[in-house]
Structure formats: structure tokens, C-alpha cells
Amino acid sequence: MEGDWQEVSFPEAIDFREGPGILAKDFHDEGVPLVRLAGLDRGGSVLTDCNYLDPNKVAKKWNHFRLEKGDILVSTSASLGRIAVVGDKGVGAIPYTGIIRMRPRDGRLIAPFIRYLLEGPHFQRQAEMLGAGSVIRHFGPTHLREMTVIVPPLPEQRAIAHILGTLDDKIELNRRMNETLEGMARALFKSWFVDFNPVRAKMDGRWQSGESLPGLPAGLYDLFPNRLVQSEFGEVPEGWEVGLLREFASMTRNSVKPQQHLDEVFAHYSIPAFDDGRTPVLEAGEAIKSNKYLVGPHSILVSKLNPRIPRVWLPAAADGPRAICSTEFLVTEPADLGHRSWFYCLLTSEAFQTRFRTLVTGTSGSHQRVRPQAYMALPIVAPPKELRSLFAETADALLSRSQAGRHESESLAALRSTLLPKLISGELRLREAEQSVEQAT
């Protein structure tokens, strides 16, 4: 341990308190937010899926649990520590049981540094060792009282928090930009192929030949009909096809056994990886115990597990390790490969997802699935190929930029994973880390 770095007991350095156990009967439609585990998901708001409490009851019973800006929230189960930082919107909220609020006990620690301490190997080893449970391990205040933390001098804490925070900020900026780009593609899809706005504009006389409207260049005028006709979906543009998904796409099940390729590194598209930022995990075959599906360069992955949680993944087509995915994904490939982005926007549209969710089987809320045959038999509305191709040109540009941002974030996250344990342990000099971050950002 370097110079002035000190190992102290966890309670001596960090003030922590687990949220109270509150019954469902105390929940309201509005009031003081009650932070749930969903609020600790990466990139989201701490108020995601929150419940609400009566302000008067909070004042009487739970006022001392209220959160302050900069507080660190940590889950007590699953990954042994999902971590979130309380921002402006979370101030005054109450954390639910299963969430531990942490803040500096005194001036020896700064709040931004705590989250990196918790992600460091010293804390994680203790959490694994002390955590209880054989399937889903958990830890709580009792375990924290037995732990220690390694505290560097304040200037080094600030420098480490700045270095890692710079990477976190860039990753978060990319995430927001990626959401915006994908949102633009999906909004255009909805306008053209769900709401049929170009057709309605022609019907109402708002769009005339040779004129342009926002999102509708004059050159597209002749590609849209000027009538809606009845179908099993209700009104659809005249001449557009209503057919089954299997008429426009195929589902592949090319299986691979990674355990037979012990030294090969795979790009593994899994359900947890999707939930953790849609970044495939690079794993050696020996670490992957179950069979997987191969992911082709034109594949779109649709999760059949618990369809109430939409998981549609557009893998990046790139050279590198062989791509494989969980068998919980329906590996879908459009018949017209140039229409991949049109198909992706179709599968992510709320209209399609609503129909997809009706196919669920199983009674357990955590193990509901969609049968592949039912998925392929879903009806869709398909415009002419020329219109799909023109949409794909626009969507490809947006989604390519999104994928480039996601690829950059993967590289930044890998750098972060390399730097964090070395910085937290004092193994790496700060200047070297700063140079690495400057080059990456």
C-alpha cells in the first residue's frame, strides 16, 4: 500500500443505511418517490419504476431516509452491488429495502470516489466472501460492518474520480446520442409505416406533387398511395401487402458448442449483456458452458424471454471474433438483406411489440416465453420494396452512427475496466492513466 494510503474499517469511513421495509399498502399514485432496484440500472434515472409515499407519513416515519445529491445507492443482491449516484431528481426520495444508501462519514472521503471504491477489487472480494446465499448472493449492513476500505489522500481521490468520471461521462454521452439516433429512425418509421402520415397528407391535400414537407422530400411523392383501404389491421395504404413475418424473414438456428473451442474467443450476445448496455462480452469458449446460436452479419436478435421487457438487438457487422448468442434469442434475418434497418425498426416498433407480447406462454412472471412458430406467424404490413429501400438508406445512416458510438463506448468501457482496479489499488500512476484517457477521448 502506497505512502499515505490507509486501510480503515468500512463504518469508520462511510455512513450507510439500508432503506426501510415498506408495505404495498403504503404506496400511492403520487407523493415522495420510493426508489426501486430498477432505478439502479445503468444509464437510467434513479426514479425509474418508482412507487410513491404519502409525504405526511414520510415526515413521521421515514424522513431520516431521504436522499441527498451525490449519495451512492447500492443493491444488496444479484451482482453484489449495482451502483447508482443520486442526482437532482432523486433528492428527497426514499430508498426501498434492498438498497443501501452510502455517503462519506467525514472529510476523509469524497462522495464521487465511493462508487469507484465499491467497484474495486478490494470491496468486491470482500462482498463475494462475506455475501450469503448459494444461488443469488446478497450482502447487507451486517456484512459491511466487517469490511474495510483503502483510502488514498484526498488529492488522489479527486484525480481518480476525475479520470474515471471522464470515461463515465463520455460513455453516458454516447448512450444518450445513440438513443437519439435510434429514436429518430424509429420516429420516421412510425410516421411512414404505422401512422401513414404521408398517405394522409396526400389524402388531405397537404402534400402536393413537386412539394416537400418535413421528412418528406418531393421525390417521394409518387411512392406513397393516396388512399387507405380496409384490412385485418384496419386501414392500410392501398397496394401495401399484409402478410406473415415468415414471408419476409427467416429464423436461423445454427448451433455452436463453445466448450468444444476452448481457446477461441467469442463475441457473446446474452440477455444480461443486452441489459447492461447492449455490449457483447468477449469470452473464451471454455467459460461458456451451454450451446449457443451463431449470429450472422445480417441478423437481428429478438428475445423470446419475458417479452414484457423489449429486447431487440442489432449486432454490429464487423470483423473479429465469431458472434454467438443465447438460445433465448430468436435469430431473425430479413429476406431482403438491404432492408435490415427497416426490419429492425419494425421489430422495435410499439405496434409490433404489442402484438408480440400477446404470444406469451407460461405462468411464471420470470419465465414467460414466446414460441418461435407463433413469432414467425405474426402479421405485418409491408410497403413496396422501393419504399423500404429508400427508408433503409436514411435509417442505415442513423443506425450506423449509433453503432459507431456504441463501439466507441465498448472501447472506453474496456479502458475503464483496466484502469479502475489499478488506480484504486495505487498500482498505476495518475499521469499514465490521464494520458490513456486523453488519447481515448
Per-residue pLDDT reduced to its tens digit, 201-246: 999 999 999 999 888 889 899 999 999 999 887 899 999 999 999 9
pTM of the entire structure? 0.83
Statement: residue 80 has pLDDT above 70: no
pLDDT at 137: 61
Mean pLDDT, range 42-61, rounded to an integer: 88
Q: pLDDT by residue (tens digit) across 91-144?
A: 999 999 989 999 999 999 999 999 999 888 888 888 878 766 554 567 788 889
For the domain made up of 6-152, give the CATH fold.
Adenine-n6-DNA-methyltransferase TaqI; Chain A, domain 2 (3.90.220)
307 contact partners, CB below 8 Å, separation of at least 6: 353, 356, 357, 359, 360, 368, 369, 370
- 366 — pLDDT class (breaks 50, 70, 90): low
Mean local confidence (pLDDT), 375-398:
94
Beta-ladder partners of 278: none
Task: Give me the sheet containing 99-104, strands edge to edge.
Answer: 14-18, 99-104, 72-75, 83-85
What residue ranges do the domains of the chain occupy? 6-152, 153-207+384-441, 246-382
Q: How confident is the model at residue 413 (pLDDT cuts 50, 70, 90)?
A: confident
**Fold match flag (6-152 vs 246-382):** yes
Res. 44 pLDDT band, cuts 50 70 90: confident
What CA–CA distance (Å, rounded) separates 39 from 84?
A: 8
CATH number of this structure's domain 246-382, picked from the four choices 3.90.220.20, 3.30.365.10, 2.40.110.10, 3.30.70.1520? 3.90.220.20
Distance CA 78, CA 167 (A): 25
Report whether pLDDT(74) > 80. Answer: yes
Whole-number percent of the chain with pLDDT over 90? 66
Judged against a pLDDT cut of 90, whether residue 311 lies above it is answered with yes
pLDDT at residue 336 is higher than 80: yes
